Amino acid sequence: MTLSAHDKELVTETWTKIAPKAAQIGGEALGRLIVVFPQTKTYFSHFADLSVSSPQIKAHGAKVLGAIGQAVSNIDNVSVSLSKLSELHAYNLRVDPVNFKLLAHTLLVTLSAYLGAEFTPEVHLAWDKFLALIATVLSEKYR
């Protein structure tokens, strides 16, 4: 997945805007994931509360967005930046890669809700490509 220089600029600009609310956005995106795609709950069955407002789900969503922030800071080198997480998801957690696409979807929806009119088609495209790149990186250790 190749992001153009303009895509990278848009992702970085958007991140600057949403960074103060990143934890909240991550929590909401993960909450949407388990509601809209309930099959994803199987990965979090060790959480005591799997409701949309679960503190564990929110805290975990915040962690996910933390990693996305790290990827934004290393947008020219996402593969190296997320290498450890790629190993974790492939070897330890064994998350089926199809789920990365589902989370990308709920993240886009959440970004749209937070950014309103600023979530232009161009910004949408840039984030779609960026999240697809992250999904590829997180899946690249599977075989």
- Identity of the residue, 10 or 130, whose beta carbon is nearer to ligand HNI in the bound complex: 130
- Identity of the residue, 11 or 85, whose beta carbon is nearer to ligand HNI in the bound complex: 85
Which one of residues 22, 85, 111, 126 is an interface residue with ligand HNI (CB under 6 A)?
A: 85
For the bound state, the minimum distance from the C-beta of residue 44 to ligand HNI, rounded and expressed in Å, comes to 6
Cα dihedral 62→12→5→106 (10° resolution): 40
For residue 89, give the H/E element and its range: none
Which one of residues 25, 72, 126, 134 is an interface residue with ligand HNI (CB under 6 A)?
A: 134
Closest CA to 12 of 74, 99, 90, 62: 74
Burial 83-100 (b: 16+ CB within 10 A, else e): eebbeebbeeeebeeebb
- Outline where 37-97 has alpha helix (H): 55-73, 78-81, 83-87
Which one of residues 23, 24, 43, 136 is an interface residue with ligand HNI (CB under 6 A)?
A: 43
95: contact with ligand HNI by CB under 6 A: yes
Binding site for ligand HNI (CB under 6 A): 40, 43-44, 60, 63-64, 67-68, 85, 88-89, 93, 95, 99-100, 103, 134, 138
